[in-house]
Amino acid sequence: MHGGVVFIAGVYGVGKSTLCNMLSSSLNIPAFSSGDLISEKNGEKYGANKTVKDKEYNQRLLVSAVEEKLIESPEMILAGHFCIFSSFNEVEILPEFVYKELHLSRIILLEADTDVIIDNLQNRDNKNYSPKNIKELLDAENLQAKKIATELNIPLITHKMNFDESDFEQIISVIKGSDT
């Protein structure tokens, strides 16, 4: 890496946090969850329901938190979303301005089969989602990732998760390969 933020994007339950922690440890680069950074700033906790009161305000908090972290370290890994569910399980696109202000160097979009994500969320959060809702979220996340990468003129790498060590090996190869 040569500075900036590698944005590990994907829907809930796709494995962003696990992968980010592994990458951080291996590359000796700090990794953060967007939700955790926002929570540190606003005091809200985002549990299994994942609902957000004011997404635009939260995104401004995220930009502030990332800028503070980049003072400490010129590069970082950030896990986050382009889209979230409303309290009615409808897809909401997060404000696009935030990605222009996050100093993104590339986007790595993690994807997985709908049924795997549903199982992961059931096991992790004890929450049930319909295949239709998850499919809509996956499709919207993919479209937004492409749109933002194009607008920022940065690389977008899409990776379908296998949920084994090959995920880490492939993503670290992409990150290290871009340094040469």
Considering the domain delimited by 4-177, tell me its CATH architecture.
3-Layer(aba) Sandwich (3.40)
Tens digit of pLDDT for each residue in 83-133?
999 888 899 999 999 999 999 999 999 999 999 999 999 999 888 899 999
pLDDT at 2: 57
pLDDT at 45: 64
pLDDT at 48: 44
Tell me the three-class secondary structure of 39-102, residue by residue.
HHHHCCCCCCCCCCCCHHHHHHHHHHHHHHHHHHCCEEEEEECCEEECCCCCEEECCCHHHHCC
User: What is the pTM for the complete model shown?
Assistant: 0.90
Q: Of 64, 77, 81, 83, nearest to 105 (Cα)?
A: 77
Tens digit of pLDDT for each residue in 135-148?
999 999 999 999 99
* pLDDT above 90 for 69: yes
Average pLDDT over residues 53-80: 91
Tens digit of pLDDT for each residue in 4-62?
899 999 999 999 999 999 999 999 999 999 999 998 888 766 544 455 667 888 899 99
The count of residues in the chain is 180
pLDDT at 158: 97
